[in-house]
Amino acid sequence: MADPRYSELLDSIEATQHSRSGSFEEALAIADPLARGRALDVPCGPGRMAEALGQLGFRAFGADLDSEGYGGSTPFCTLDLNRPLPYADASFGFVYCGDGIEHLENPFLLLRELARVVESDGVLVIVTPNYLNIERRLQFLLTGSLAKPPRRAPNYYEGSPFDRGHINPLTLTRLAYMAENAGLELVEARTLLPRKGQRWLAPLALLVRALSALSKPKRKRDLFAEHTQSWRMLMGGKQLLAVFRRARKPLVPSA
């Protein structure tokens, strides 16, 4: 659990928060030990996280698809995350991307761009729904859908807009793979917002763990099994928080 100081800091900021509670506090605890350079919050929504980073002493920047509802005092940039970011290489020591990547048509591009703009010793934090807890896995088994299916446009042929909900639900396995291909390495993964109601599924989680233990080393590596098949992920909460850094050495493809 993050230090209560970060909750107090967030409470002092008037801008609203659209993200689930807890994610900002955890991210601020990760950012706080870093050198006070430039920080980016994207997509920033009303700007609460960017404002908090600014109060911690970072030179913070917020960015989103539009400025409607933005209440932060930090510099703001309008951008489309399905396109290249308008920032120089290695220009941020800390980057926070919360509750955004699952809404994009091109998350691969975003990961490459985030890897490009983060400094060599910088940190990238991504928060997205946790699709790997045992409840979500069972949901997929029963429905074939990781997330709530996007609403279908009834008159798409007449130009009606499609629902831009969670159109690209990303498991940690896929997210880590995409990040690795962008030159990043997964440092840590944790979950937020515990799901107490899934305790009765613990026997199923034990079965998943047992089957994973029988897997070949290459398969475990490809699945990032030390994270994705861990007990804390299987019995974890609604949200996933993943921490990435620039890869310290060239990544060797699986044999």
pLDDT tens sequence across 199-248: 999 999 999 999 999 999 999 999 999 999 999 999 999 999 999 999 87
3-state secondary structure the chain: CCCHHHHHHHHCCCCCCCCCCCHHHHHHHHHCCCCCCEEEECCCCCCHHHHHHHHCCCEEEEEECCCCCCCCCCCEEECCCCCCCCCCCCCEEEEEEECCHHHCCCHHHHHHHHHHHEEEEEEEEEEEECCCCHHHHHHHHHHCCCCCCCCCCCCHHHCCCCCCCCCCCCCHHHHHHHHHHCCEEEEEEEEECCCHHHHHHHHHHHHHHHHHHCCCHHHHHHCCHHHHCCHHHHCCCCEEEEEEEECCCCCCCCC
Flag whether 29 is in a domain: yes
CATH, residue 179: 3.40.50.150
Query: 253: pLDDT confidence band, cut at 50, 70 and 90?
Result: very low
Flag whether 220 is in a domain: no
Flag whether 202 is in a domain: no
- Give the predicted TM-score (pTM) of the model: 0.92
Flag whether 104 is in a domain: yes
Flag whether 142 is in a domain: no
Q: How many domains does the chain have?
A: 1
Residue 61 belongs to what domain range?
A: 4-132+151-196+237-246
Flag whether 82 is in a domain: yes
Flag whether 100 is in a domain: yes
Flag whether 40 is in a domain: yes
